[in-house]
Amino acid sequence: MTEIIICGHDNEILNAIKRSLDKYCNYEILHDNILVSAQSHFSEAVENNSVVVISNRFHGKICNGNFIAIFFSSDNHAVETLNGSGNIAISCGTSPKDTISAASIDDGKHLVSLQRTIRSIRNKIVEPRDFYVRSNCALYPALAACAVLLLLGIIPEEGFEF
């Protein structure tokens, strides 16, 4: 089972991820094996193939573990918390240094760039690419949802819409 944990009880991130999974996951293959939850604190019982999405509302501490973290690069607390944890971290934002970067922001449509090669939790290589995202979510929830989809190995041919 793949667990996706949103740390910091952010309903907008939770809803964006749930909508994206509902749209892009094949229910018979993936959806039944994915658990999405929101937590106000970090649980030390995180499984190896878990994805932890850190909301800017999260002010707790992240314990060492073997999970993939997604965070907004301007969230200094997340950066400091993940520094030295040994976890794979995927930064989202508007900087060319971010793993997933919004290259162009338009009303409801973003040009998003995957800046570096990542490995999905199912061991699929996802090469850098640009794609469009159509969403009525704020920027970070949309980018976080894209990161989750990419980590599940769902590759946008033309883009995502959720």
pLDDT in tens, 108-130: 789 999 999 999 988 999 999 99
Which residues does residue 101 pair with via DSSP β-bridges, in sequence order?
93, 113
Give the whole-angstrom CA distance, residue 48 versus residue 64: 11
Give the whole-angstrom CA distance, residue 25 versus residue 54: 22
- Quote the pTM value: 0.91
Q: Tens of pLDDT along 19-77? A: 999 999 864 445 557 888 888 767 665 666 789 999 988 888 776 678 899 999 999 99
Give the whole-angstrom CA distance, residue 7 versus residue 84: 19
Would you state the pLDDT for residue 43? 62
Which residue segment(s) compose the domain that 63 sits in? 2-161
Phi, psi of 10 (to 5 degrees): -110, 105
Is residue 87 scored above 80 in pLDDT? yes
Would you state the pLDDT for residue 47? 65
- Is residue 142 within 8 A of residue 110, CB to CB? The reply is yes
Find tokens 């089972």 and name the residue.
Answer: 1
Q: How confident is the model at residue 132 (pLDDT cuts 50, 70, 90)?
A: very high
Would you state the pLDDT for residue 6? 93
Check residues 87 and 30 and name the one with the higher pLDDT.
87
Would you state the pLDDT for residue 28? 45
Torsion of CA 4, 41, 135, 80, to 10 degrees: -100
Would you state the pLDDT for residue 128? 97
The number of domains in the chain is 1
